[in-house]
Structure 1
Amino acid sequence: MHVSAIPAFDDNYIWAIQPYDGADAIIVDPGDDQPVRQWLRHHDVEISAILITHHHWDHTQGLLPLLKDYPVTVYGPHTDTIEGVTNPVGHGERFSLSGDIPFTVFATPGHTLDHICFYTPGHVFVGDTLFSAGCGRMFEGSPEQFYESLQCLAELPDMTSVYCAHEYTEANVKFALAAEPSNETLRQYAQQVRALREHGLKTLPSTIGIEKAINPFLRAKGSEHFAELRRWKDQF
Structure 2
Amino acid sequence: MSFLLENIGNSADWPLEDNEQYGSTQLVKLTRIQGVVGKNLHRNWLAIPHVTHDEHIVVDSFFDAKKEGSLSGVSFLASIVKATALTLKEFPSFNASTDAKGSELLLKDFVNIGVAVDTEHGLFVPVVERCDTKSMVDISGDISTMANLAKEKKLPFEKMQGGTFTISSLGSIGGVGFTPIINAPQVAILGASSVFDRPVRLPNDTLGWEKCLPVSLSYDHRIINGADAARFCKRLEHNLKQLLGRGESE
Query: Shorter-chain TM-score category?
Result: under 0.3
- Give the structure, 1 or 2, with the largest relative contact order (CA under 8 Å, sep 6 or more): 2
TM-score w.r.t. length of structure 2: 0.26
TM-score w.r.t. length of structure 1: 0.27
Please tell me whether Structure 1 or Structure 2 has the larger radius of gyration of its CA atoms.
2
